[in-house]
Amino acid sequence: MANLSPDFVEILRALPHYKEIQLPRAQARLFPSPTLLDEETLQEDWKTYVHPDLKKHFQSARQVVEEDLKKMETLESGAKLSIPSSHLDAWMNLLNQTRLAIVEVHRLTEEDLEAPFEEDDPSSTLFRLHFYGYLQQALIEAWNSQS
Amino acid sequence: MSTLLDEEIKDKDIVLLDSVWNVIVHNDPVNLMSYVTMVFQRIFGYSSEKARKHMLEVHHAGRSIVWSGTREKAEMYVQQLHQFLLLATLESVDL
């Protein structure tokens, strides 16, 4: 990604640091139950054996993205961000974590997500949510083109 | 009149028939349709057409049974789906 304006640089740099992800509503979504039924043993086993690995997986994604962002180059024409193809999964994962957390914590509905948003206000939650979605889509297309 | 062998075979059949589990993916308003399709291709090795079919079922019907088989494998798939941040559950098939 090249010619990034300061606003977009700021939105990208914010990605690994969203506090929303740590809030209970977001955590409940990032670590869902494996069953809709009242299966206590399965749920407890899942928390004990699966959640720690999931947590490591999510943290690893954040670390990869953070490192890539540190290498962002500032040029006259705007910042340039390079995402190695081996890092696509980490980026898609953190973008998804962040989008899910934003929606959960701000209790956004499907209507909210489809409503028009202020395209001139990069600081707005909806702007960032959609920006992260567009970026995730671009990465999915990059993945599809390499596979 | 059943023999002990007949009873043993019947019990084994019941255990085998009882061991089928479904992996179900549930709709959520955040995950991109293209992302869900990609995840199905990557986890289950589905063609793009089959992956898209299941994605559309999730989108329109609210859920889709994406795989059926042993409990152990169903748990593994649900874990992988959770890693990709999809809402997924497993449930035994009532036979």
More confident residue, A61 or A124: A61
pLDDT of residue A95: 97
Mean pLDDT of A53-78: 92
pLDDT of residue A4: 78
By the CB < 8 Å criterion, does B92 face chain A? no
Residues 6-35 of B with CB under 8 A from A: 28-32, 34-35
pLDDT digit string (tens) for A6-30?
888 888 899 999 888 999 999 999 9
Inter-chain touch B79–A35, beta carbons under 8 Å = no
pLDDT digit string (tens) for A83-107?
999 999 999 999 999 999 999 999 9
Mean pLDDT of A134-143: 93
pLDDT of residue A30: 97
Residues 33-52 of B with CB under 8 A from A: 34-35, 38
Inter-chain touch A136–B78, beta carbons under 8 Å = no
Per-residue 3-state assignment (H helix, E strand, C coil) for chain A: CCCECHHHHHHHHHHHHCHHHHCHHHHHHHCCCCCCCCCHHHHHHHHHHHHHHHHHHHHHHHHHHHHHHHCCEEECCEEECCCCHHHHHHHHHHHHHHHHHHHHHCCCCHHHHHCCCCCCCCCCHHHHHHHHHHHHHHHHHHHHHHC
pLDDT of residue A115: 80
Residue ranges of chain B whose pLDDT lies below 50: 11-13
Inter-chain touch A136–B35, beta carbons under 8 Å = yes
pTM of the model as a whole: 0.88
